[in-house]
Chains A and B, each alone.
Chain A
Amino acid sequence: MPTTFNWTAGLVFIGFFALVTVLGFVAARWKAGDMTQLHEWGLGGRQFGTVISWFLVGGDFYTAYTVIAVPALVYAVGAYGFFALPYTIIVYPFVFAVMPKLWTACNKGNHITAADFVQGLYGGRWFAAAIALTGIVATMPYIALQLVGMQVVIKSLGVTGEAPLVIAFLILAVYTYASGLRAPAMIAFVKDIMIYIVVIAAIWLIPSKLGGYASVFDAADHFFTAKGGATGIILKPSQFTAYASLAFGSAMAAFMYPHTLTGVLSSASAKTVKKNAIFLPAYTLLLGLIALLGYMAIAAGVKVTNNNDVVPALFLHLFPSWFVGFAAAAIAISALVPAAIMSIGSANLFTRNLWKPLVQPNITPSQEASNAKIVSLAVKLGALVFIIVLPTKFAIDLQLLGGVWILQTFPAVVFSLYTRWLKLPALFIGWAAGIGLGTTLAFMQDLKPIYVLHLGDASYPMYIGLIALALNIVLTLVLSVVLPARPALAAR
């Protein structure tokens, strides 16, 4: 990594960042609405059509951290790091089948969060609060990781210190405050187009510089053969269940997060959500190619001390300065979009499902909106402090745990769309047991996502979130059978 400021790259970077900042503030006037209403600020007025939603959800789901971390994992271990690919394919049949139903239910009830939906269905305050808290806690480290993505690319421009990160995040905080979801929706256009350009340039240029894809894969193969262990350009049979369960569990968890749900709920109609499920896989193609950057780095002989530096290091190695700046800006802006939506999603949850029911039941709609704006600031500030004060490892570990936790909201959110038969205490106990088991197993594995299940002589490494979800579902079903009907239900 360079230690002096790269002027050409730096100026290109600053130029694009300035453009996006202006867009962020202009966005408040775009498809103007009454910003004193939470659904206007926090869902953009539920009016985004197929094209805007495509950019928004794509920009929100495929984050800066993805662009940094997936190639880093592929660089380190090979094929196993590719689980992100099946994950982001099989997520779409699920989105297609389930999310339009959720959109319809939430639109009818004016729900803006998953916890709102659960509360509307089952009543009570505490379970909805638990769902909300799960969402917020799972999202915080995710925001922090977006900062890591930004930090990595800023460092590659030869800038040291935390100042640029702080400035970038203050800008983000202020325009999210002013424009709400409209800001990331508008910025997502720029961000996605820039990322597409970078990746297309990379897949076009890099193989010709490295002698074609066959030699890229050959280089990776030799590298992993020399490295040994559970690495390689295809999986070891012992990795099969880990790979498949990570892909499946991650896919089921992906649209339980507040930021992805916010993206879905801001769509104009259930049909928009369906259409988007058809077209969103285009981003997965992009992700697959981004993942290959890990192998290209190996083929280019890039050496890094921290795997997360592998993408910027590869860009520095192969691209001219001005394009390094462009690529760095693309990644940094990629951090802004999800970070903004994540903070908005968390703020919606906090305001609607924690503050309103537990602290200030008679809050007015405009107080609700201003409360959410302030919470979104606090959430981002929290993430910033987190990343500056604590080692990055904490954010990574917590984000992993967050995935396990958010998956435990699946039965309450998804099953409830199909049946009214589940009982609130059953869902609550299932959720708690899932969180308990998932957290325990994760700590037993030193915060690795995989736990080895033994069945007879065979052993199956499985994603912990999925093991916990299995317990959660079994408990929810069994308890829904054995628990007595609630008086309120019996009276109906």
Chain B
Amino acid sequence: MKKYVLRRLAGAVPLVLGIATIVFFLTSLAPGDPADFVIAPGVTQEVREQLRANYGLDDPIPVRYVKWVGQAARGNLGHSLTYSRPVIDVVGEFLPNTLILSGTALILSFLIGIVVGTIQADRQYSIFDSSMSVVLLFFYSMPSFWLSLMLIMTMSLFARNVWDLPIWFPASGMESVNNPQMSPIQAFLDRLWHLALPALSLSLVLTAGIARYMRTSMLEVIRQDYVRTAMAKGLSREVVVFKHALRNALLPIITLVGLYLPFLFSGTVFIEYVFAWPGMGRALVDAALQRDYSLVMGGSLFFATIVVVANLVADLLYAVIDPRIRYD
């Protein structure tokens, strides 16, 4: 076990380094001079040279690569041109918002997916089973940006302005303008209220895959001897399914968390864009469009590292909780 953990850890380091290398060469081989963005048109050649030297843009590419990797390993990701602040500060400001959104969506989608998948497996080939499959596949086929627009249209704009419903949700932002003046409980509820639509649209798209996986896993477990024994003992079906079978059916779902993170982060880009959520995904799109390469490099390095670490943790957890699996 110890050996397996060490081997996996040793494998993760070159993976992150490799991703950093791809990101670096992609952005540094791009046509166009990033310095052009901050330099006003009438500036003399000397000032231009000075600025390029300040940003370290006049070094040859291999030198810049070694410098960048060396600094990144020490936690210095360079300076963002658009924000005029260290990249690490910008990431520190936006990443928590993204993690709140994606974390809520992740929990929500796994909760819905696990419950729906379990009930589907329990009543295989019933009307609930087949209709849920169709409904989930429908959401699965939906682009998340369109789903969030439709939610904004119905549950925010139309609910408020046309249908005069008593409940409507905000269409954008993380909190109301007067949030700082609210009492702590009110402020928290206000944030939750703003989180509802983005988290829902992000999780609905993911739920289908989880529910399907859960259904298959549950169907395998339900046919095992110990489940039949529990039934034969006279326990009710609910107890057997939700207490005895669910525990074992949940095991393979853990690896799914790691696998779903890249999809989740891709999804947050659109959701943050549509809902004007001040998160990392949106900041990254803006940075890419404005050629703020140090922010693009730093931000995508962060995302990739989170994915690698999460996959590592999921695999290790799986090895810990499932004694049937041996890794050596």
A and B held together in a complex: no
Which residues does B use to contact A, with CB under 8 Å?
none
Which residues does A use to contact B, with CB under 8 Å?
none
